[in-house]
Structure 1
Amino acid sequence: MILNNLKFYLRKYLFLVLVLYVQITLFLITFGTFVTLIKEIDFESEDLQQIYDGKAIYQLIDGYYDAEEYQEFISENDYITRLKNFYNGLNTATEFQYLAMYDQAIMIEDTKIPSDAYHGYERGNEKIQTTINNKSYTVAKAFQLNNQALNFFNLQVSEGQLWDKDDFQNEQNEIPVLLGDTYRNYYEIGDVTKINYYNKMVNIKVVGFLNPNSKVFYQNNTEFYLDKYILLPYIEWNSKPTTLIDEKFQQASYFAMINGYVVTNNDISGNQVVMQRIEAIAQNSSFGKYSFIGLNPHFNQYRGLMTIISEERNLVVAIFLSFMILNIFLINTILFLQQKRRLSTFAVYYMNGSTRIQLVFIQWIEIALIVFLAYITNYILLNQVMMIGDITVQIYIFILSILLSIIACFLPTYQLLRNHMITSLNNDFEGRI
């Protein structure tokens, strides 16, 4: 009887069934999109809080910006050693975290570089290319950072492996690099190529690909995405430079490395300890010219961004709840009006021996079939076509589908279970014979 009833129901009310199917499908897709958006907002909020909440960040800058003072400093025989000692003191201090990072472009042998990954692409600049040893090199986006910055921003790989501590300390023939997600279709793990890095030819080896949308908070950009960047570790060069090229390379590297960020707890006593410790490091390394530019350059952006995220989340939740209530109301209204037209059909089933519970079950099967088909369509569109959400989102949608099929039966079930309604159905049926 159930199968025959479904055939009759679909044949007689095909247009209304299609309308309900489309509406429920769009409702589930919208629900999944909203849930995904809320999860992303919550993740962004937690990520920001984990990084910045309760933190004070100072940007450190060397004091050799005057050309004459700079030339005087690098003319001293031990200036490389002093630079190294100053950086090592900052990097090993226990009173604060030291984040060394810089977006120094490199020249890479142009065999597999994405078209939008060259330096200056966003500004509309032309690709800069040159020939070195009869091979074409392109200026590409690159980002250098130390191990503390890697851990502070919790960068992860989708394939390959992250750097370990040895990658920041050992001088190797090949520098291990991490590539942004844009490079996934151009390189593979283990690929080796050449770059011109601070005018020194260096071999690099691909060891991993960053997760999509990996980002750091760099300079004034609270969302500095690394998808199109080549990441190089800031290596601590233990050996003394033996050639002029090596000297210039280490000079440029260490000047960039000492212009980093100091992260500490945001309290007066902690800040004083940090200032005293940095001054002691500078004196011990005979590096006296440094300064801080701005107190916590990201703090205002962080607070503003957190406010925006909170407001966005509240707005999204409000819109979502309104949309959900409206859709459930419309779906129930349509089903209620449809069931009123079908009372005579249920009267026939009732007078032929079907119980009221059986009638309710038949009704639920009809509604559940539409909801189930809508859920399958939603799964295909969200997961396979739009690539939105994950298994958790689909579990939420599946639970909602079950609840929706039950809630949608409330009013029609109430009609069927009322005693005087059953009596009126019988009277109406008998009056037609």
Structure 2
Amino acid sequence: MLFDLLKTSLLYKPKKTLLLFFQIIVSFIVISIALSFFIVSNGSVAKLNRVTQSICKISDNYFGDEGEAFFSRADNVGALKKIYKWENTTDLFNYILISHQNVYIENKKWPENCSIYFEGEKISDAYYSLQVNPEFFRYFDIDLSEGIVFTEEDYLLDDNIPILMGSDYKNYCSIGEKIEMDYIGAILQCTVIGFIDDNSYYNNGNGIENLNNKIILPSLELTDEYDTGFALRLFLDKTTGFIQPNKDLNAIQNELTQQCLSADLLPFTIQGGNSFYLSMWGLEGNQLRSIFLSMLILVSVTTVICVSLNFCLKIRHFKKNYSIYISNGIRRKNIVKSIIIEIFILNTIAMFIANNICFLIGQSQNILLLFGIAIIMTMISSIYPISCFKKLNIATAIRGKE
């Protein structure tokens, strides 16, 4: 009997049923596209909101004569290692290593925007690079479009150094390619293991930059004896990164000063936190996110109203039939089930068709997410029709007076 109720209802005015079905398909196409853009814009805004949070720079004070004296003492390597270990283990702040050092790579025809210029003149074979620690990827939520991120072993200075390339390099080199580079005076043999996603940004202490034209190196740990000058430059860079404070800056500065003095180093200083107003994806990104969310709600509500009204009209047309069914022993809840199932069938089939269409245009959405939306819309769309059915007066409906 349930099947007969569904069949009768679906075949009632088939043109109107097909029109409603087409409308639901179009609605799910719009919902899928709007949902896709909402998720992308929401993710981009969330990333940049994180990037623009205040972080502070740790700076050394080795300039002039102090700098010359510092680089002449081999035992300063051990002192810097002690500071670096403390920075990575203290609970006063999260330590984010972002070391800006140019690398020199010969005989590469890479994009011009990846090259370094000084006073309008291109510096031959020089490219932008960053030396980073694992916290860099976590804090700025860096994703890869291809390849793998650095593993724990990758941070050990070895015969082969894994590197990540910005998206601008994607058409100029490939994963597994070997590259020889000069990094702060040491020749390193490197291998490309991945490419950074195009929408990846970081806070350089002065502003927001994307990583499209950057070469990313792991924060290298020395496993063997290396040239003292190289080791000092390496660890001085490693200890002067950025911090996300968990405590008062004065308390952090006092503790940092104590750590430096105990290691027989000139005290490092913390430069005040810098936060930045979003320009590219600030208000524009939030507005787009609101637009897509409003579109989702508007289309969903419109579809629910149309489905509800359509089924109320069906119930009005079939009121005499339903009254006869009930008089002959059919339980009301079975008719209610048929109404809900019919709405669910229309929503689900329309959702699958819409998702396949969106797949063809590159905007397909997670099928489980859309299925969940279809279930919610079915439940809401059923409320008014079921309410209309429950108000049905059997006696007057059979006589045709209702």
Distance across 1 between alignment mates of 2:56 and 2:135: 15
Residue 292 of structure 1 corresponds to 270
Distance across 1 between alignment mates of 2:80 and 2:282: 33
Question: What are the residue-to-residue correspondences of 1:3-402 with 2, within 5 Å?
Answer: 5=8, 8-9=11-12, 11-13=14-16, 16-22=19-25, 24-26=27-29, 28-29=31-32, 32-33=35-36, 36=39, 40=43, 48=50, 57-64=55-62, 69-70=63-64, 72-76=65-69, 78-79=71-72, 81=74, 84-85=77-78, 87-93=80-86, 94-95=89-90, 96=92, 97-108=94-105, 118-119=114-115, 140-150=127-137, 153=140, 159-164=147-152, 166-168=153-155, 170-180=156-166, 189-198=175-184, 200-208=186-194, 213-221=199-207, 224-226=209-211, 229-237=214-222, 239-241=225-227, 247=229, 253-267=234-248, 271-272=250-251, 274-288=252-266, 290-294=268-272, 296-298=273-275, 324-337=300-313, 340=316, 342-343=317-318, 346=321, 355=330, 357=332, 363-364=339-340, 366-381=342-357, 385-387=361-363, 390=366, 393-402=369-378
Alpha carbons of 1:78 and 1:19: their partners in 2 closer, same or farther (altered >3 Å)? closer
Distance across 2 between alignment mates of 1:338 and 1:156: 51
- DSSP 3-state at the match of 2:180: strand
Question: What are the residue-to-residue correspondences of 1:400-419 with 2, within 5 Å?
Answer: 400-404=376-380, 406-407=382-383, 409-410=385-386, 413-414=389-390, 417-419=392-394
Residues 4-24 of structure 1: per-residue CA shift (max 9 Å, x gap): 647744644266335533454
Distance across 2 between alignment mates of 1:27 and 1:345: 38
Q: CA deviation at 1:405?
A: 5.4
Find out whether 1:423 has 2:401 as its counterpart.
Answer: no
Distance across 2 between alignment mates of 1:230 and 1:421: 80
Alpha carbons of 1:86 and 1:331: their partners in 2 closer, same or farther (altered >3 Å)? farther
Alpha carbons of 1:141 and 1:2: their partners in 2 closer, same or farther (altered >3 Å)? farther
Alpha carbons of 1:43 and 1:74: their partners in 2 closer, same or farther (altered >3 Å)? closer
Alpha carbons of 1:285 and 1:7: their partners in 2 closer, same or farther (altered >3 Å)? closer
Alpha carbons of 1:18 and 1:280: their partners in 2 closer, same or farther (altered >3 Å)? closer
2:355–2:365 contact (8 Å) kept in structure 1: no
1:368–1:405 contact (8 Å) kept in structure 2: no
- DSSP 3-state at the match of 1:13: helix
Structure 2 unaligned regions, length at least 5: none
Distance across 1 between alignment mates of 2:239 and 2:198: 29
Distance across 1 between alignment mates of 2:104 and 2:367: 42
Alpha carbons of 1:82 and 1:149: their partners in 2 closer, same or farther (altered >3 Å)? farther
Alpha carbons of 1:257 and 1:190: their partners in 2 closer, same or farther (altered >3 Å)? same
Distance across 1 between alignment mates of 2:130 and 2:310: 58
Alpha carbons of 1:331 and 1:12: their partners in 2 closer, same or farther (altered >3 Å)? closer
- DSSP 3-state at the match of 1:81: coil
TM-score (structure 2 length as normaliser):
0.69
Alpha carbons of 1:41 and 1:233: their partners in 2 closer, same or farther (altered >3 Å)? closer
Q: CA deviation at 1:419?
A: 1.9
1:59–1:261 contact (8 Å) kept in structure 2: yes
Distance across 1 between alignment mates of 2:386 and 2:109: 61
1:163–1:176 contact (8 Å) kept in structure 2: no
1:177–1:205 contact (8 Å) kept in structure 2: yes
Residues 301-352 of structure 1: per-residue CA shift (max 9 Å, x gap): 69xx999999998998777656644542343234434654x44895798699
Q: CA deviation at 1:385?
A: 4.1
Distance across 2 between alignment mates of 1:105 and 1:421: 88
- DSSP 3-state at the match of 2:307: helix
Q: CA deviation at 1:384?
A: 6.4
Opposite residue 163 of structure 1, the aligned amino acid is T
Residues 64-121 of structure 1: per-residue CA shift (max 9 Å, x gap): 5xxxx53x345448446366345323211144444321343434467796x5972479
Q: CA deviation at 1:376?
A: 0.6
- DSSP 3-state at the match of 2:74: helix
Q: CA deviation at 1:233?
A: 1.5
TM-score (structure 1 length as normaliser):
0.65
Alpha carbons of 1:38 and 1:179: their partners in 2 closer, same or farther (altered >3 Å)? closer
2:84–2:239 contact (8 Å) kept in structure 1: no
Distance across 1 between alignment mates of 2:186 and 2:72: 20
Alpha carbons of 1:354 and 1:63: their partners in 2 closer, same or farther (altered >3 Å)? same
Structure 1 unaligned regions, length at least 5: 131-136, 429-433
Distance across 2 between alignment mates of 1:129 and 1:9: 77
Q: CA deviation at 1:40?
A: 4.2
2:45–2:282 contact (8 Å) kept in structure 1: no
Alpha carbons of 1:161 and 1:312: their partners in 2 closer, same or farther (altered >3 Å)? closer
